[in-house]
Structure 1
Amino acid sequence: MIGAGAVACALVHRDKNEAIRHCQAAISKKLRAPSTAEFTDTIVSRGDSGFGTHYYDVAGTVDAQNGFGAMVRGEYTCELTQRPDGQWLVTSTRVL
Protein backbone atom coordinates (compact mmCIF):
# COMPACT_ATOMS: atom_id res chain seq x y z
CA MET A 1 0.00 0.00 0.00
CA ILE A 2 1.31 3.44 -0.94
CA GLY A 3 1.11 6.09 1.77
CA ALA A 4 -0.31 9.59 1.35
CA GLY A 5 3.19 11.06 1.61
CA ALA A 6 4.39 9.01 -1.35
CA VAL A 7 1.39 10.09 -3.43
CA ALA A 8 1.96 13.76 -2.55
CA CYS A 9 5.64 13.43 -3.45
CA ALA A 10 4.74 11.86 -6.80
CA LEU A 11 2.31 14.70 -7.55
CA VAL A 12 4.92 17.36 -6.75
CA HIS A 13 7.43 15.54 -8.98
CA ARG A 14 4.86 15.39 -11.81
CA ASP A 15 4.08 19.09 -11.41
CA LYS A 16 7.77 20.00 -11.47
CA ASN A 17 8.15 18.05 -14.72
CA GLU A 18 5.15 19.93 -16.15
CA ALA A 19 6.73 23.23 -15.08
CA ILE A 20 9.93 22.27 -16.90
CA ARG A 21 7.98 21.30 -20.02
CA HIS A 22 6.01 24.57 -20.12
CA CYS A 23 9.11 26.69 -19.51
CA GLN A 24 11.20 24.92 -22.12
CA ALA A 25 8.39 25.35 -24.66
CA ALA A 26 8.24 29.08 -23.88
CA ILE A 27 12.03 29.44 -24.09
CA SER A 28 12.12 27.50 -27.39
CA LYS A 29 9.76 30.07 -28.93
CA LYS A 30 12.40 32.75 -28.31
CA LEU A 31 15.16 30.86 -30.15
CA ARG A 32 16.13 31.30 -33.80
CA ALA A 33 16.14 27.50 -34.36
CA PRO A 34 13.87 26.01 -31.67
CA SER A 35 14.06 22.47 -33.06
CA THR A 36 17.80 22.41 -32.28
CA ALA A 37 17.36 23.27 -28.59
CA GLU A 38 18.99 20.99 -26.03
CA PHE A 39 18.21 21.78 -22.39
CA THR A 40 20.56 20.76 -19.57
CA ASP A 41 21.35 21.57 -15.94
CA THR A 42 17.71 22.27 -15.14
CA ILE A 43 16.86 23.39 -11.61
CA VAL A 44 13.29 23.83 -10.34
CA SER A 45 12.09 25.48 -7.16
CA ARG A 46 8.47 25.46 -6.04
CA GLY A 47 6.52 27.67 -3.68
CA ASP A 48 2.95 28.15 -2.55
CA SER A 49 1.32 31.54 -2.86
CA GLY A 50 -1.86 30.50 -1.07
CA PHE A 51 -5.36 29.56 -2.16
CA GLY A 52 -4.11 26.47 -4.02
CA THR A 53 -1.81 28.39 -6.36
CA HIS A 54 1.78 27.21 -6.77
CA TYR A 55 4.62 29.10 -8.37
CA TYR A 56 7.75 27.68 -9.95
CA ASP A 57 11.13 29.07 -10.92
CA VAL A 58 12.96 27.07 -13.58
CA ALA A 59 16.54 27.75 -14.65
CA GLY A 60 19.08 25.95 -16.76
CA THR A 61 21.25 25.93 -19.84
CA VAL A 62 20.12 25.75 -23.45
CA ASP A 63 22.23 24.97 -26.52
CA ALA A 64 20.72 25.91 -29.89
CA GLN A 65 21.74 27.06 -33.33
CA ASN A 66 22.04 30.76 -34.00
CA GLY A 67 21.22 32.46 -37.31
CA PHE A 68 24.50 31.26 -38.82
CA GLY A 69 23.97 27.61 -37.85
CA ALA A 70 26.55 27.60 -35.06
CA MET A 71 25.57 26.03 -31.76
CA VAL A 72 25.59 28.59 -28.97
CA ARG A 73 24.95 28.17 -25.26
CA GLY A 74 22.81 30.39 -23.11
CA GLU A 75 21.36 30.33 -19.65
CA TYR A 76 17.62 30.67 -19.22
CA THR A 77 15.20 31.46 -16.44
CA CYS A 78 11.46 31.11 -16.39
CA GLU A 79 8.77 31.84 -13.84
CA LEU A 80 5.32 30.33 -13.97
CA THR A 81 2.23 29.73 -11.90
CA GLN A 82 -0.04 26.72 -11.63
CA ARG A 83 -3.54 27.89 -10.78
CA PRO A 84 -5.93 25.91 -8.57
CA ASP A 85 -7.78 24.72 -11.70
CA GLY A 86 -4.54 23.13 -12.96
CA GLN A 87 -3.88 25.72 -15.69
CA TRP A 88 -0.29 26.89 -16.19
CA LEU A 89 0.67 30.53 -16.80
CA VAL A 90 4.21 31.47 -17.83
CA THR A 91 4.82 34.90 -16.30
CA SER A 92 8.45 35.54 -17.25
CA THR A 93 11.13 34.11 -19.55
CA ARG A 94 14.69 35.22 -20.08
CA VAL A 95 17.60 33.87 -22.13
CA LEU A 96 21.07 35.22 -21.36
Structure 2
Amino acid sequence: MATSNTPDFKGTASSTPQGDQSQQQSSFQDKASSALSGLNGQLKNIGDSASAQLGKLSTTQKVVGGLALAAGLSWLSRAMNKRNA
Protein backbone atom coordinates (compact mmCIF):
# COMPACT_ATOMS: atom_id res chain seq x y z
CA MET A 1 0.00 0.00 0.00
CA ALA A 2 1.20 3.47 -0.80
CA THR A 3 1.50 5.96 2.02
CA SER A 4 1.78 9.71 1.84
CA ASN A 5 3.48 12.08 4.22
CA THR A 6 1.04 14.91 4.77
CA PRO A 7 1.18 17.59 7.46
CA ASP A 8 -1.70 17.58 9.90
CA PHE A 9 -3.29 20.71 11.35
CA LYS A 10 -0.43 21.08 13.86
CA GLY A 11 2.16 21.09 11.09
CA THR A 12 3.66 17.71 11.96
CA ALA A 13 3.86 14.98 9.38
CA SER A 14 1.61 11.97 9.64
CA SER A 15 1.64 8.89 7.51
CA THR A 16 -1.77 7.57 6.41
CA PRO A 17 -2.38 4.87 3.84
CA GLN A 18 -4.41 6.18 0.90
CA GLY A 19 -6.28 2.88 0.71
CA ASP A 20 -7.79 3.52 4.15
CA GLN A 21 -9.22 6.86 3.01
CA SER A 22 -10.88 5.40 -0.07
CA GLN A 23 -12.17 2.48 2.00
CA GLN A 24 -13.69 4.88 4.55
CA GLN A 25 -15.29 6.94 1.77
CA SER A 26 -16.72 3.81 0.16
CA SER A 27 -18.08 2.66 3.53
CA PHE A 28 -19.70 6.07 4.07
CA GLN A 29 -21.27 5.97 0.61
CA ASP A 30 -22.62 2.48 1.25
CA LYS A 31 -24.18 3.58 4.55
CA ALA A 32 -25.68 6.71 2.96
CA SER A 33 -27.10 4.70 0.06
CA SER A 34 -28.60 2.16 2.45
CA ALA A 35 -30.16 4.89 4.60
CA LEU A 36 -31.65 6.64 1.56
CA SER A 37 -33.11 3.45 0.14
CA GLY A 38 -34.69 2.69 3.54
CA LEU A 39 -36.06 6.23 3.73
CA ASN A 40 -37.45 5.92 0.21
CA GLY A 41 -39.38 2.81 1.22
CA GLN A 42 -40.75 4.48 4.34
CA LEU A 43 -41.88 7.54 2.38
CA LYS A 44 -43.61 5.30 -0.17
CA ASN A 45 -45.48 3.54 2.62
CA ILE A 46 -46.56 6.85 4.14
CA GLY A 47 -47.72 8.14 0.76
CA ASP A 48 -49.68 4.98 0.04
CA SER A 49 -51.33 5.15 3.46
CA ALA A 50 -52.20 8.84 3.07
CA SER A 51 -53.71 8.34 -0.37
CA ALA A 52 -55.78 5.41 0.91
CA GLN A 53 -57.11 7.54 3.76
CA LEU A 54 -57.84 10.44 1.40
CA GLY A 55 -59.79 8.09 -0.86
CA LYS A 56 -62.09 7.24 2.06
CA LEU A 57 -63.17 10.87 2.53
CA SER A 58 -66.34 12.27 0.97
CA THR A 59 -66.16 15.10 -1.56
CA THR A 60 -67.47 17.57 1.04
CA GLN A 61 -64.78 16.54 3.51
CA LYS A 62 -62.11 16.98 0.85
CA VAL A 63 -63.38 20.47 -0.07
CA VAL A 64 -63.62 21.61 3.56
CA GLY A 65 -60.16 20.21 4.27
CA GLY A 66 -58.71 21.97 1.23
CA LEU A 67 -60.27 25.27 2.28
CA ALA A 68 -58.94 24.88 5.82
CA LEU A 69 -55.48 24.11 4.44
CA ALA A 70 -55.58 27.16 2.16
CA ALA A 71 -56.74 29.41 5.00
CA GLY A 72 -53.98 28.12 7.27
CA LEU A 73 -51.32 28.69 4.62
CA SER A 74 -52.64 32.18 3.97
CA TRP A 75 -52.56 33.03 7.68
CA LEU A 76 -49.04 31.60 8.03
CA SER A 77 -47.84 33.58 5.02
CA ARG A 78 -49.24 36.83 6.44
CA ALA A 79 -47.73 36.12 9.86
CA MET A 80 -44.31 35.50 8.32
CA ASN A 81 -44.53 38.70 6.24
CA LYS A 82 -45.37 40.76 9.34
CA ARG A 83 -42.50 39.15 11.25
CA ASN A 84 -39.99 39.88 8.47
CA ALA A 85 -41.16 43.46 7.87
TM-score, normalization: structure 2? 0.38
Structure with the higher helix share, 1 or 2: 2
Instruction: Name the larger-Rg structure.
Output: 2
Say which structure, 1 or 2, has more relative contact order (CA 8 Å, 6+ apart). 1
Structure with the higher strand share, 1 or 2: 1
